[in-house]
Amino acid sequence: MDVSDNGNITNGDSVSTAPVIEEIDFSKFTDKPRTLNTERQRSYDERSLSELSIGLSPHHTSRNIEYSRNLDQLDCTFSPGRRSGFNTPWSQNSYETHPTLAEAWEALRRSLVYFRGQPVGTIAALDNSDEKLNYDQVFVRDFVPSALAFLMNGEPEIVKNFILKTLRLQSWEKKIDRFQLGEGVMPASFKVLHDPVRNYETLIADFGESAIGRVAPIDSGFWWIILLRAYTKSTGDSSLAEMPECQKGMRLILSLCLSEGFDTFPTLLCADGCCMIDRRMGVYGYPIEIQALFFMALRCALVLLKHDDDGKEVVERISKRLHALSYHMRSYYWLDLKQLNDIYRYKTEEYSHTAVNKFNVIPDSLPEWIFDFMPTRGGYFIGNISPARMDFRWFCLGNCIAILSSMATPEQSTAIMDLIESRWEELVGEMPLKVVYPAIESHEWRIVTGCDPKNTRWSYHNGGSWPVLLWLLTAACIKTGRPQIARRAIELAETRLLKDNWPEYYDGKLGRFIGKQSRKFQTWSIAGYLVAKMMLEDPSHLGMVSLEEDKQMKPLMKRSNSWTF
Ligand code: GLC
């Protein structure tokens, strides 16, 4: 039996070629958001979003202005707590509706998981035709789009229940063999057990101790913090985040990541399989997905943590880490044509702090495909950096979160969207969206995946197309003032997803085939679609999952003269 489906469960430098980075004072971010302690209110500051969309590159100005006008219109139609779900149809308004929507809401509601009478999450997949493995569990990362859909639909209770239940799980003692895991680790997933004899329900959770490979999910804790902020922002109810238990939960998650050690980089060192890609796929080291989520969780925690005796020290450590992390990511992970050309001409073996090629990357290690893939205008954060290793693969989740968290500068965000537009066939194809590009094949596949039969080229985590990523793309599009890109992607997915019974992923270079071992009725495919639709209809929802640059902050980064897009 292939129990590995859900890996986590059953499975002074010379910066002549780098952009100039200005000092960022992240302590400014520690102010409480204005939305806390207020009545339920709009989930974002529209003014700042319209300003942002106007302030982008001249290339997009006319589209952005038109888009901002649309935002103004939406301003008038917003009514807090409006329901768009199946029971109270979304079709009441004048915006485009699609038959798929009602079906999606029905399917999402069918996936609800109850614990002692209360909804506490959604099951990963409701596919009875296939082996359950651990798809009958509530995954923390999978629940995020479900949670956002419910928040957008004015149903915050289930999200609150989920946050509190998983918080209780965090306090469990976690052991793998005789080794005890850190206190702050959040589970990858949990399940409700019914005891028919005692007529009693209990929870069981998996922190990595049942996972193939025995890897703990680093992303769960970050998603938990991000969701806590989304809840707070959307409801205006700060009492949940202010509970001493929630404050402690956040501190525990972050103290696992902020502890001192042997690190020379501010990024987090990870094992393969610790995130959405939960099998061996060569993402060990410092993967972009985790670094971007780490950045976002740190920023969310900064607004949610109290500056009391317990919180003060963590807040200071967060500010320092954000400062170093944004410098590191923006300078070293960023790749565009200019940067690629610089790497192509890198000298090696440069000892001392004046080295340009700091990680001693050998130009011969540049993969062939990157020279064709890199457009003249556009760029992205590469997959991983460590000594003598740059993983040039494009990872969708990390790049979208980089935009949403403002880890990317506005220029970088625009460049990422430019790349998606100019490499549409490769990254979107016939079914949005590639989790990673390109696939690894042959000898490399053998070495990197350990001959994983589920991760063959252009399948599953190895270049498969995942509909759940639609919500992240849509949010990034709205933030950068380019909703038309999201609209195009949603149109591609809309009819097929329902017809194909909401597959988990698609296979093939263009995503034309339902994934070889893909589950049907995969909840996050359903919820991802719903969130994308609702966000496009009412872009004010973006505020739940997006963090603006601090207005008072100086521009975070200037392009060096030679830096082009
Ligand atoms: C797969 C995915 C993982 C997801 C899980 C449940 O293992 O790789 O990201 O959380 O399925 O859907």
Question: How confident is the model over 484-509, as pLDDT tens digits?
Answer: 999 999 999 998 999 999 999 999 99
**Beta carbon of 6 within 6 Å of any ligand 1 atom:** yes
505 CB contacts (<8 Å, ≥6 apart)?
A: 435, 459, 460, 464, 465, 466, 467, 515, 518
Residues 125, 496, 426, 460, Cα dihedral to 10°: 20
CA 6 to ligand 1 center in whole angstroms: 5
Q: Which atom of ligand 1 is nearest to the CA of 125?
A: 12
Query: Residue 352: how many CB atoms within 10 A of its CB?
Result: 6
Q: Tell me, what's the pLDDT at 205?
A: 96
Mutate to test the pocket of ligand 1, among 11, 131, 142, 290 (most ligand atoms within 8 A of CB): 142
Q: Tell me, what's the pLDDT at 96?
A: 54
Instruction: Give this prediction's pTM.
Output: 0.85
**Beta carbon of 219 within 6 Å of any ligand 1 atom:** no
Take atom 1 of ligand 1 and give the residue whose Cα is closest: 6
pLDDT band at 26 (very low <50, low <70, confident <90, very high): low
Query: Residue 484: how many CB atoms within 10 A of its CB?
Result: 14
Take atom 3 of ligand 1 and give the residue whose Cα is closest: 276
Take atom 9 of ligand 1 and give the residue whose Cα is closest: 276
Q: Tell me, what's the pLDDT at 535?
A: 98
3 pLDDT above the threshold of 80:
no
The arithmetic mean of pLDDT across residues 363-369, rounded, is: 97
271 pLDDT above the threshold of 50:
yes
Q: Which atom of ligand 1 is nearest to the CA of 461?
A: 8
**Beta carbon of 334 within 6 Å of any ligand 1 atom:** no
71 pLDDT above the threshold of 60:
no
Mean pLDDT in the chain? 84
Q: Which atom of ligand 1 is nearest to the CA of 11?
A: 7
Report d(CA 561, CA 564) in Å as an integer.
8
Q: Which atom of ligand 1 is nearest to the CA of 277?
A: 8
Q: Which atom of ligand 1 is nearest to the CA of 279?
A: 8
**Beta carbon of 5 within 6 Å of any ligand 1 atom:** yes
Residue owning tokens 């972050």: 254
Q: Which atom of ligand 1 is nearest to the CA of 137?
A: 6
The arithmetic mean of pLDDT across residues 205-228, rounded, is: 93
DSSP string, 189-245: EEEEEEETTTTEEEEEEESSSSSTT----HHHHHHHHHHHHHHHHHH---HHHHSHH
**Beta carbon of 124 within 6 Å of any ligand 1 atom:** yes
Q: If we measure between CA atoms, which residue out of 37, 500, 459 comes closest to residue 236?
A: 37
Q: Which atom of ligand 1 is nearest to the CA of 278?
A: 8
54 pLDDT above the threshold of 50:
no
Mutate to test the pocket of ligand 1, among 113, 133, 139 (most ligand atoms within 8 A of CB): 139
CA 378 to ligand 1 center in whole angstroms: 30
CA 263 to ligand 1 center in whole angstroms: 29
Q: If we measure between CA atoms, which residue out of 274, 275, 278, 321 comes closest to residue 296?
A: 321
Q: If we measure between CA atoms, which residue out of 396, 286, 388 comes closest to residue 346?
A: 388
Please report which helix (H) or strand (E) contains residue 444, including its range.
Answer: helix 442-449
